[in-house]
Amino acid sequence: MPTPKPPTRDAARSAQVITAVILSGAALIWLAPILTPLALAVFLMLMIDALARDLHHRLPMLGPGASVGAAVVSCIVVFAATMFVVASRGAGFVTKLFGYQARLNAVLSGLAKHFHLALPRTVSALIASLDPARYLGIVATNVQVLVTFSVFVLIYLGFLLAARHGFERKAVRLFHGREGRHEALAVFVRIRDSLERYLWVQTVCGGIIALGSFFIMLAVGLDSAFFWAFLIFVFGYIPIVGAAVGILAPTVFALLQFTSAWPGIILGSSLFALAFTIGNIMMPRMQGRALNIDPVMVLLSLAFWGALWGVTGMFLSTPLTILVMVVLAQFEGSRWVAILLSADGDPHSLGAAAAAKLPEQSHKSEAAALTG
């Protein structure tokens, strides 16, 4: 009598992967207050490291340490300039918005009359009915949370930058064999190269959308066109949601600014056509070639990481998915998940060009670590 056939190894491994995903998701939610600032700090460190290596390549006289310092100063300058633009242009935007109070009153009155809603007929009455004093505590709490989060990100970033020189030494000493060390370093380089490509794709596509939107808004005659274009560029780093905000917000503002609805309709249609062309034709092709990630998985990862970590998860959704894909591709039992995440079914091709240059770098890192 033949013995029953035991379960296949593939089914057991798939069950283990599914269980690990569920437990990992629960852990990510539970540890979100700790992991979200750390993840953002790691992302910023990789940005600074990429800029430092580029500066060192272009200006060899700076040296590695000076290149990192110059990269940090450059990031601080860019951040300060961003805050200055938002604060200066934002103040003028709020002033102009209050100048459209008569138009807002007309819009509220029209909505209340058309939809038979019990809405206040003026902006002042609407604000009074909302009782802003009730929300002061909520606003203060959210501001405190944001400040605390930013402080944690900066603290993590400082310690990561201070400890970055020891990462290679730890990686070398962690593995006894040269093959294992080389494989671990190759995985790290694939992740680093992929994140740099992601930043490049998002920056190029976001810059094109912001520049095109600026000229469209100028042609329509929208006020604060530079402010809107700048916000569109910043929100462009959030997949899908950023494009929606970049279309809807200026369109609503145009409906308030102009007495006719046609400028707002033309503006919204033009911005949608631009964002659709770049976001659905140009960007997926660039992501597929540079990142090797399925565009559908970009959408799913946005929903997944947004549900886990909120706005921070949405901002980091694509980099985190790339990280997961590269790591899962290294194990036989989870390689099928990496194949589903990839665009061409070959997750190992991600960063392969950079990883191919590793043998010489690996020997140098090993020698430096063993002698240091």
Q: 112 pLDDT exceeds 90?
A: no
Rg of the chain over Cα atoms, rounded to whole angstroms, equals: 25
Q: Which of the four pLDDT bands, split at 50, 70 and 90, describes residue 99?
A: low
CB 286 within 8 A of CB 205: yes
Residue 186 to residue 362: CA distance in whole angstroms: 9
Position 17, amino acid: V
d(CA 291, CA 128): 50
Whether this model's pTM surpasses 0.85: no
Residue pLDDT, tens place only, 1-58: 455 545 556 667 667 767 877 888 788 888 888 889 888 888 888 888 888 888 888 8
Centre a 10 Å sphere on the Cβ of residue 121 and count the other Cβ atoms it contains. 15
* pLDDT score of 3: 52
* Distance, CA of 372 to CA of 367 (rounded, Å): 8
Cα torsion at 300, 204, 353, 193 (round to 10°)? -70
Q: If pLDDT is split at 50, 70 and 90, which confidence band does 142 have?
A: confident
pLDDT band at 367 (very low <50, low <70, confident <90, very high): very low
Contacts of 228 (CB under 8 A, 6+ apart): 213, 214, 217, 222, 249, 250, 253
